[in-house]
Structure 1
Amino acid sequence: MIKLFGSLIILLVATSFGFRMASRYAERSKQLRLFINALQLLETEILYTATPLSEACRKIGTRIPGPVGTFFAELGHKLREGQGVTAGEIWRETLTAHKVNLRLKEADRDVLHSFGQTLGISDRQDQIKHIQLALAHLGTEEQGAREEQSKNEKMWRYLGALMGLTLVILLY
């Protein structure tokens, strides 16, 4: 009875590990999509309502769920307080602070860092061009993330269950 219970626990732990690894691929795709949505909202706020950057980021933070929304909410708060510091520096600091919560790869972060460097240093039309460029790059990264997700998500789920079964068989 104890062996059966132990085997079941091993199988459940290994399977949950596989599902956790698989969820990382889905989370990256989701967060890239949310960043794209957030930048589209930022574009709208800048172009049509001429909202100050700190207020626009705060609004986006309330509309976008999860870690991406938290990133923008904190960014808006820091932009409101940050006197003597550029918006790009605040963007970089906030992005670095949220590195743990965001399931982004280095290429994704590079796109966001590049966009952040141009944030708030030009007129509206130029800012819109930078947003559209970042949207194009993030769209490419999202497409790659979806392809990676479709390849690896199933594999990790099965691999977790199979690792658990292998361990159970080896222990008996």
Structure 2
Amino acid sequence: MLKFLGSLFIVSSMTGIGIWKAEEVKHSYQALGKIYHLIGMMKNELSYAGSEFGEMFECLSKKVDAPYRNWLLGMKIQMERRDGKTFSEIWEDNVNGFLKESGLGMEALNHLKMLGRNLGGADRQMQIWSMERYLKQIGLQMDEMRKDIQMRMKVRICLGASAGILITIFLI
């Protein structure tokens, strides 16, 4: 009876870990969608409202949740301080500081940092073009993720359950 309960506990806990890892895949896709939406709002603010970056960050921070709100407010505050950093340095510092735990993968974070480098030294039209290019890139990445997200989730759950069964077999 004790072996049975121990085996059941091992299999269920490993399956739980598989489910948790599967949720990470889904969370990563959702985080990518949020950043896609946010950069789209930034592009619209620049193109149609003609806002400056500080004003735009403050306005958009009211429309999004944490950690994106904190990222935008951090950008605004550091830009107002003018402590000798370039725009791209401020952008990268805030991405590293506020968006590390957002669920975005390393690839998405690196693309976001590259966007900041492109925005820092460009005129308004080039900034808008950089945002459009970034949105296309993220859109393609999201399409690719969407194609195999269900399969990736199932694989992680199955691997967790299989690992639990394998461990149980070795212990018995």
**TM-score relative to the length of structure 1:** 0.84
Give the paired residue count: 172
Aligned to 1:169: 169
Matches of 1:151 and 1:110, distance apart in 2:
25
Q: Percent same amino acid among aligned pairs?
A: 23
Matches of 2:164 and 2:32, distance apart in 1:
32
Encode CA deviations 1:64-118: one digit per residue, 9 max, x unaligned: 3353444333333333334422221111111222463033344323321221012
Encode CA deviations 1:127-166: one digit per residue, 9 max, x unaligned: 2111111111111122222234233111001211222122
Write out the 4+ residue segments of structure 1 that deviate beyond 6 Å after TM superposition.
Answer: none
CA contact (8 A) 1:32 1:142 kept: yes
Encode CA deviations 1:35-55: one digit per residue, 9 max, x unaligned: 110011111222222333123
Q: Structure 2 matches for 1:1-172, cutoff 5 A? A: 1-98=1-98, 100-172=100-172
1:114–1:3: structure 2 CA closer, same or farther, 3 Å change rule? same
Matches of 2:72 and 2:3, distance apart in 1:
50
Aligned CA RMSD, in angstroms, stands at 2.3
CA contact (8 A) 2:22 2:152 kept: yes
Matches of 1:51 and 1:138, distance apart in 2:
24
1:2–1:151: structure 2 CA closer, same or farther, 3 Å change rule? same
1:14–1:113: structure 2 CA closer, same or farther, 3 Å change rule? same
CA contact (8 A) 2:29 2:142 kept: yes
Further displaced range: 12-21 or 104-113: 104-113
| Runs (5+) with no aligned partner, structure 2 | none
Tell me the amino acid that sits aligned with residue 137 of structure 1.
Q
1:129–1:101: structure 2 CA closer, same or farther, 3 Å change rule? same
CA contact (8 A) 1:60 1:73 kept: no
Matches of 2:112 and 2:35, distance apart in 1:
9
CA contact (8 A) 2:58 2:76 kept: yes
CA contact (8 A) 1:25 1:145 kept: no
